[in-house]
Amino acid sequence: MAASTRTEFQRKQDLSTTAQLYLARKTQTEIAAVIGVSQRQISYDLKAIEKEWFESSMVDLDERKAEELARLDAVEAECWAAWERSKQNKERRSVTRTQEKIEPTDKRRKEAEERGENAEAVIMADKTTSTSSQEGQVGDGRFLDGVLRCVNMRMTILGIDAPPRKEIEDPPDHSTSEVDLESWSDGDLQVALRLVQSISA
């Protein structure tokens, strides 16, 4: 198939169509027939499409990471603020109600005498006393748990919480180990001899 020069607009349209056909499991030959170019050109276009997809996914992933990290920062800030508030002194108020005697005044005595009442009568009145005190707080540990969860989630997003790699040691090589036959009992030697004989038989 003869090569043809495509405009930038045509190339973008062809790449869009090629991508749709590729996702529909069409072969490169089938795509080439639809687009009107060579199979070699389709192979080249697919590489460009895959590169664009990869770069786009990386950008989207970075943006999503940044968004989640910003959200975690806000949550962690709230947890820290709540932790600080939980350490502030707590004010306790108490109200005491009592009764007190009110001695009659000269005016009340005169009024009582005019009404024919006891001028020396003592009046009992309610008295309310309000007091307040400050109580120290040690802080609510639940807010620190929230901070710790934010830290762990941030480490997961950033990929820095992977467990440390452990080097796998090679098993010991016993091929050249010397056997101390002098430490073997007579029974052990007889068993070993029968085993060797059975293997070589």
> What span, in angstroms and rounded, lies between the C-alpha atoms of 131 and 4?
94
Q: How much is the pLDDT for 24? A: 85
Q: Give me the tens of pLDDT residue by residue for the chain, a chain 201 residues long.
A: 445 678 889 988 999 899 889 888 899 999 999 999 999 999 999 998 888 888 776 767 788 888 888 888 888 999 999 999 888 887 777 777 777 666 667 777 777 677 776 656 656 656 677 776 667 777 888 989 999 999 999 888 888 865 555 554 554 554 444 445 556 566 565 555 555 555 444
Ramachandran region, residue 25 (left: φ > 0; alpha: ψ -120 to 50; beta: rest): left
Q: Please say whether the beta carbons of 98 and 124 come within 8 A.
A: no
Among residues 128, 112, 131, the alpha carbon closest in space to that of 120 is found at 112
Per domain, the residue ranges of the chain are 9-61, 89-135
Q: How much is the pLDDT for 176? A: 46
